[in-house]
Structures are given as structure tokens and as C-alpha cells.
């Protein structure tokens, strides 16, 4: 694992664990799929369920499910993920 992957993993784990405290299902809105591998690695073996929505487009099946929305593209630029 590269050093940048380890740093990203720490951010991912912190943000996802904070979201998971409030809601089991997490909808991750991201501009691209760069972090999908790291997110999948982090969530292996947990009960965390998530879906990646590219370019802020969510799967319509989630409209009826309660979930915590995580705006990953904002996290990457140092913003608040849930604002």
C-alpha cells in the first residue's frame, strides 16, 4: 500500500465510521471512482452498507431508504462531508 493510500484510508475510516454511527446505509456521492477500492477494503467484514453515486447521481432505489449521504468530493477538497 502506498503512503497516500494509508493517509486516504485514515480519512475514509474516520468519515465512514462517523456516518455509520448515525445510519447503517451510507450513500457516497463522489466525482469519480478513485476511492471506491479503498472504501471497499475498509468496509470488508463490517455491516456497513454503501453505494457509490458518481457525479452526485443517486440510484433511484435509495430514494425510499433511509441513508446518510456522504459527499466524498467535498472531503477530498477539505470540506465538511455532511454539510
Domain extents for the chain?
Answer: 3-76
Contact 53, 26 (CB under 8 A): no
Q: Which residues contact 73 (CB under 8 A, 6 or more apart)?
A: 29, 30, 31, 56
The pLDDT, as a whole number, for residue 62 is: 55
31-70 pLDDT, tens digit per residue, is 556 667 777 777 777 777 766 665 555 555 555 667 777 7
pLDDT range class, residue 72, cuts 50, 70, 90: low
Backbone angles phi, psi at 48, to 5 degrees: -75, 125
Evaluate whether 70 touches 28 at the Cβ level (below 8 Å): yes
Instruction: Indicate whether this model's pTM tops 0.85.
Output: no
Amino acid at each position: 500500500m502506498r503512503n497516500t493510500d494509508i493517509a486516504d484510508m485514515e480519512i475514509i475510516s474516520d468519515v465512514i465510521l462517523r456516518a455509520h454511527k448515525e445510519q447503517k446505509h451510507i450513500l457516497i456521492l463522489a466525482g469519480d471512482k478513485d476511492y471506491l477500492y479503498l472504501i471497499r477494503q475498509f468496509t470488508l467484514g463490517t455491516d456497513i452498507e454503501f453505494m457509490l453515486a458518481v457525479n452526485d447521481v443517486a440510484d433511484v432505489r435509495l430514494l425510499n431508504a433511509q441513508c446518510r449521504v456522504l459527499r466524498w468530493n467535498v472531503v477530498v477538497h477539505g470540506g465538511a462531508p455532511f454539510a
